[in-house]
A = this chain, B = another copy of it.
Amino acid sequence: MRPSGRRSDEMRPVTLEPGAAKYAEGSCLSRFGETVVLCAATIEERVPGWLRNSGRGWVTAEYGMLPRSTHERTDREAARGKQSGRTQEIQRLIGRSLRAVTDLEGLGERQIRMDCDVLQADGGTRTAAVTGAWVALHQAVSKLVEGGALPALPITGHVAAVSCGIYAGQTVLDLDYAEDANADADANFVLTDTGGIVEIQGTAEGAPFSEAEFQRLLQLAKAGTTGLVELQKAAIGSK
């Protein structure tokens, strides 16, 4: 029995609200249950040094948590003077995930910088970030197309993410904080709309898990991201 009463293959209510950041070129407020992440895309007309004169663009991401987004307060990284290993791991993951479905040549020599800031954290912040960031990215590059800066949308497909885990001996979809803090294993899946795998991060928190368990987690994730892609489609249609 899950703390939330959900079935093992049941996601939390998810909403993706495009345009939530008034000044950003693209944005999305992504909610997975009580987890809330604001994704904001900035278009910069210059690329990192190693890409100059290459004709190619780049997509990068930064991630942060408001100190009191969490159940217990977390230290402010700006005050501590450095980003944690976890933060850096997550922002690298978001950047890679978005680049996997971006045509970097089609984007031209410009950079999209995606800020994913957690306003409220109840587990699954990185998967909510990836899923919402895709909507923000889509909105930003659509403006480039509408404004005539690009001939076509440099996006090759959807990318969405969800976590799965082993909780109380059972494989479950979309861990919330109560589950995550007590899970035996935790895996994040970043998948495309055509079932392609962009990223898998699976970790045994306690005892190792079996190959069979891992396969069940992957099947849960595929079902979960299929639903998320439908929500992304609705979000970009509605903006």
Contacts and interface: CB of A to CB of B under 8 A. Distances in A.
A228 to B, nearest CB: 15
A89 interface: yes
Interface stretch (A7-15, A72-80, A125-133, A147-155): A72-80
Interface in A216-235: 218, 222
Contact of A204 (B67, B199, B214): B199
Interface string A30-71: 000010001010101000000000000000001010111111
Interface in A79-115: 79, 81-89, 91-92, 96, 100, 113, 115
Contact of A115 (B42, B68, B89): B68
B68 A78 contact: no
Contacts of A238: none
A220 to B, nearest CB: 13
Contacts of A144: none
A202 B203 contact: no
B82 A82 contact: yes
A113 B73 contact: yes
B22 A40 contact: no
A1 interface: no
A188 to B, nearest CB: 10
B82 A81 contact: yes
B68 A23 contact: yes
A214 to B, nearest CB: 6
Nearest to A25: B68
A30 B199 CA distance: 28
B198 A214 contact: no
Contact of A40 (B27, B67, B89, B187): B67
Contacts of A194: 208
Contacts of A204: 96, 100, 196-199
A24 interface: yes
Contacts of A44: 73
A201 interface: yes
Contacts of A82: 78, 81-82
Given A68-B42, A81-B81, A214 B201 contact: no
A199 B203 contact: yes
